[in-house]
Amino acid sequence: MAASGSSSSNSNNYEIPWVEKYRPTKVADVVGNEDALSRLQVIARDGNLPNLILTGPPGTGKTTSILALAHELLGPNCKEAVLELNASNDRGIDVVRNKIKMFAQKKVTLPPGRHKIVILDEADSMTSGAQQALRRTMEIYSNSTRFALACNTSSKIIEPIQSRCALVRFSRLSDQEILGRLMIVIQAEKVPYVPEGLEAIIFTADGDMRQALNNLQATYSGFRFVNQENVFKVCDQPHPLHVKNMVRNILEGDFDDACAGLKQLYNLGYSPTDIITTLFRIIKNYDMAEYLKLEFMKETGFAHMRICDGVGSLLQLCGLLAKLSLVRETAKAV
């Protein structure tokens, strides 16, 4: 009995991912994007919710913000007055015609000035037909129902819907903002760490709060200690120090050493996309002359574009290093 009791308590410890456990329930508690959140806080206070499109990179707080806003506006009525559909749901034209329309027609007693809310997460993956059907529904039921669409790229939402909505843009979170929230979670969960480990988590997250919390939990679950080595074992990204050495070799004129470092990373099984993404971020933060940095970033961007088009070979990456060497030599001559 004692054993089963301890196993059930252990399972309770791992039940909720930290992303969900520490998800803010008030708009004011969401981290970053002060301008966007201040607009949402005014809506939460006054209750005049327009149709919204929340757009921005993943993990920046779009869904969290709209859920928190719904909780603040509707309080105990939230359960029956909010319909949330995610990309995992089938969201073709039938869902718009049946599920969303039925919800919009449903009578719910709400305080004056409050509306039912339909939350469409990953709205940019809705079919064009579904979006066309949605625009008429938005107009017909505007007295009782408001729509909040969260998406990564607002250009994939058809223009008639864009013109019916207020656009709220979210951007990637700064390292400082992510660090602040990580420290709150670390203190609450009593996670042992070293500062280099947190630096590694912030580097791998690249402005994505969800990724940062998931990486922190995965590292703690796997190794019970957050340091640089453990983080990169869990996240399995090219180690920034390797990539930094490659950039240093280029700047010092050691093209062969830079290529050898690149081949080593390639042979470890990292995809060209992973390598070039890490390379871009290292160049962006590397201490070098500004004009040289801009040229390096331009060439890396072109190579990234070619890799995304499917030309992801070692030859392509070595060609990029050769281009960077040429840029350096030209700059030196000037």
CATH assignment, 240-333:
1.20.272.10
Phi, psi of 100 (to 5 degrees): -70, -40
**Cβ atoms 25, 136 nearer than 8 A:** no
pLDDT at 1: 37
Q: Are 178 and 205 in contact (CB under 8 A)?
A: yes
- Residue 86, pLDDT above cutoff 80: yes
Query: Which three-class secondary structure state does DSSP give residue 85?
Result: strand
Read off the pLDDT of residues 94-106 as tens digits, 9 standing for 90 and up.
Answer: 888 888 889 999 9
What's the fold here for domain 18-169? Rossmann fold (3.40.50)
Q: Which of 67, 31, 69 is nearest to 49 (CA)?
A: 69
Q: For residues 29 and 16, give the distance between their C-alpha atoms in angstroms, rounded to a whole number.
A: 20
In this prediction, residue 13 carries a pLDDT of: 52
- Please provide residue 154's backbone torsions phi and psi, each rounded to the nearest 5 degrees: -70, -20
Better-scored residue on pLDDT, 9 or 306? 306
CATH 3.40.50.300 assigned to domain 175-235? The reply is: no
Residue 126 has a CB neighbour count (10 Å cut-off) of: 25
pLDDT in tens, 189-224: 999 999 999 999 999 998 999 999 999 999 999 999
Count helices and strands in the chain by DSSP H and E runs: 18, 5
Residues 6+ apart with CB under 8 A from 95: 85, 89, 130
Nearest to 278 by CA among 230, 317, 226, 250: 317
What are the sequence ranges of the domains in the chain? 18-169, 175-235, 240-333
* Cα distance between residue 8 and residue 66, in whole Å: 34
